[in-house]
Structure 1
Amino acid sequence: MDAAEEPFLMVVEDVFCLNQGRVVRATGRIERGRVRTADEVEIVGSGGGPITRVTGIDACQLRLEEANAGMNVGLLLPGAATGAVERGQVLAAPGSIGARVAFVGDIALLPEDQGGAEVLTGEDLDFYIHAGAVRGVVTLPHGMDALQPLHMAAVTVTLERPVALEVGQSFAFRHHGRAAGSGTVTRLLP
């Protein structure tokens, strides 16, 4: 499947309000697919959900009619309420990705000298998914009390707010303010 056939997805890295808040400019890198002026996009993530129309695309101070995967762009979204778009959300083809608060993932802890620390069931970790951070509680597999540095496990994560998630998506996490490890989403939970 070539990039033009994949559904559009862009991670929102920054948001600006223009024209006294009547237009939102969301900037970021297009991860896959393409977007054209007048396409509808869905805001996915915490507080997201509305579908809005792209009225302008800009890259490197140039106005474009179309942008493809790999490009850093700004999308103009009139009618998107101020605060409806925020860093860490994604803009996507409507219905192509959903926001979830729970998932199963394979995680690997860093060595102790690089920040890895023992992780216990029920501990709060800071997860870095897309361009945003969200707090989450980790649940280790049945019978495992603690996960030690340099070890791996399949864990269940429950986030404090919905985040756009897909199977195969990578993430990083911090434990007590220090980089502790990384992982990959293996299954989405309802």
Structure 2
Amino acid sequence: MDAAEKPFLMVVEDVFLLNQGTVVRATGRMERGRVRAADDVETVGFGGGSIIRVAGVDGYRVRPGEAVAGMNVGLLLPGVEAGADAPGQVLAAPGSIGAHAAFGADLALFSQEQGGAEVRTGDGLSFSIRGAAVTVTLEQPAALEDGRSFAFRHHARAAGSGTVTRLVP
């Protein structure tokens, strides 16, 4: 299935307040699907869960009628409180992806020759999933789905990568 035909999903990379804070512009690269003004989207992860109606789509110096997978866009979201959307959250078609605080994964550690850090049992790791930094214990639910790849760090050095194999409710 073509990425544009799948349900809409965009990782929020940056957030800007417009019109004295009455409108939020959430920017990012669309991973899949399509979105246009008047579509409903859901914020997922880090305390999200609200459904918002898109007021407009901003492209680079243009206002396209719709945005499709692969485009870098800003979505205009009126009525969203400052701080409600944050980098690392996901905007998605309502009900298409959920936030999870635990998951099973296949991990691959980088060797020291590959620049990886030495990781011992019990050491804390920092994971980066779609740009959202979370800890191994996932203190906050993050937008996850089976098959999603991710990277993790140890003491600010790349330590390895992994793939989500099982979501834990």
Shorter-chain TM-score tier? over 0.9
Query: Which secondary structure does the structure 2 equivalent of 1:161 belong to?
Result: coil
**Unpaired runs of at least 5, structure 1:** 137-157
Q: Which amino acid aligns with 2:125?
A: L
Aligned to 2:161: 182
Contact 1:169 1:185 in 2 (8 A): yes
Aligned mates of 1:67, 1:53 — CA distance in 2? 15
**What's the Cα RMSD here?**
1.3
CA distance in 1, matches of 2:123, 2:43: 30
Alignment of 1:23-172 (within 5 A): 23-136=23-136, 158-172=137-151
Shift of 1:90: 0.6
Contact kept, 8 Å, 1:24 with 1:78, in 2: the verdict is yes
- Does residue 7 of the first structure (1) align with residue 7 of the second (2)? yes
Q: Is residue 6–residue 32 contact of structure 2 (8 Å, CA) maintained in 1?
A: yes
Q: What secondary structure sits across from 2:96 in the alignment?
A: coil
Q: Secondary structure at the match of 1:184?
A: strand
Distance 1:45 1:104 in 2: 18
Q: How much does 1:56 deviate?
A: 0.7
User: 1:176 Cα deviation (Å)?
Assistant: 1.4
Question: Structure 2 CA distance, aligned partners of 1:69 and 1:4?
Answer: 5
SS at match of 1:117: coil
TM-score, normalization by structure 1: 0.85
Measured after TM superposition, the shift of residue 4 of structure 1 is 4.0
* Secondary structure of 1:87 counterpart: coil
Following superposition, the deviation at residue 128 of structure 1 comes to 0.5
* 3-state SS of paired residue (2:41): strand
Offset at residue 120 of structure 1 (A)? 3.5
CA distance in 2 between counterparts of 1:2 and 1:183 reads: 24
State whether residues 3 and 34 of structure 1, in contact with CA within 8 Å, keep that contact through their aligned partners in structure 2: no
TM-score (ref. length: structure 2): 0.95
Q: What percent identity do the matched residue pairs reach?
A: 70
Larger-gyration structure (1/2): 1
Residues of 2 paired with 1:118 and 1:169: CA distance?
24
Offset at 1:118?
A: 3.8
Ranges in structure 2 where 5+ consecutive residues have no aligned partner: none
Distance of 2:161 and 2:143 partners within structure 1: 17
CA drift of 1:77 comes to 0.4
Structure with bigger strand share is 1
| 2-structure distance, mates of 1:118, 1:111 | 8
Distance across 2 between alignment mates of 1:14 and 1:68: 19
Amino acid in the other structure paired with 2:70: G
Query: After TM superposition, what 4+ stretches of structure 1 lie above 4 angstroms from structure 2?
Result: none
Moved more, 96-105 or 110-119: 110-119
